[in-house]
Amino acid sequence: MQRIFHLYQVAKYGLFAIAEILTCEGIPCPSAHDRARNRHRSGIAWSKGAIRTILSNPRYTGHQVWNKQRKDEVLLDVDNVALGHETRMRWNRPDTWVWSSSPVHEPLITIETFEHVQQMLAGKGAGKNTRERKRTHHPYVFRGLLHCGICGRRMQGQQSQDRLYYRCRFPN
C-alpha cells in the first residue's frame, strides 16, 4: 500500500499506470487475494478503481474514520408516493468525517500524505492533467463484447487512420 501512495504522489504515475505495474509484477489484486469475498470478479489484474479506492481510504493513516456515508430514503416515483422508497447509500463530504483522536493501528502513511493524495485526486495538486477529455467519434460495435484469448481481459477498440481494430491493452 505504501508503494501505491509513493507511485502516485512522488513518482506521479497515474491510476492506470500503477495498475499495470502491479499486474505485470504479479502482485495479486484485492479480488484475487480474497476469492471467497470476490467470486463475482475475475481477479486477473489490478483495476484503476482498485487503485483509486486504496488511495481514498483513510484507514491507511492508522486512524478509524466514521460518518463517511449516510443512508438516504429516495422515492421510487415522485409522481406516485404510494410506491414507496428505497434506501441509497451516499458519500458525505470529507470535512464531515469523524476521525479517531489517536491511531488505532500502526499507520502505513502519514495523514499529510493522505491529504496530499486527496488533493491530487481532486485535481487540485501537481501531476494532474487538466486537458479536456474527448468523446469517441468512432462506433465500436463490439465494445465490451470481445475478450483477449490470452489474458481474458476486454479488448479495446482502436482507430488507426481509416481502419478500426480491437486490441488487448495488457502487455504480453
Residues 53 and 111 in one domain: yes
Q: pTM value?
A: 0.64
pLDDT band (50, 70, 90) for residue 33:
confident
Q: Does 43 lie in the same domain as 70? A: no
pLDDT of 34 reads: 73
pLDDT 10s digits, 62-121 = 999 999 999 999 988 888 888 898 999 998 998 899 999 999 999 999 999 999 999 998
Same domain, yes or no, for 13 and 27? yes
Per-residue pLDDT band at 171 (split at 50, 70, 90) = low
Q: Is 126 a residue whose pLDDT tops 70?
A: no
Say yes or no: 93 and 37 in one domain: no
**Sign of the CA dihedral with 156 first, then 56, 60, and 110 last:** positive
CA dihedral 169, 49, 112, 9 (to 10 degrees): 10
- 7/54 same-domain check: yes
Phi, psi of 4 (to 5 degrees): -60, -45
Range of 93's domain?
Answer: 65-99
Beta strands in 50-172 (DSSP E): 65-66, 69-75, 85-91, 98-99, 156-160, 163-167
Count of domains forming the chain: 3
Q: What integer is the mean pLDDT of 122-128? A: 60
Q: Average of pLDDT values for 25-41? A: 77
Residues 147, 77 share a domain: no
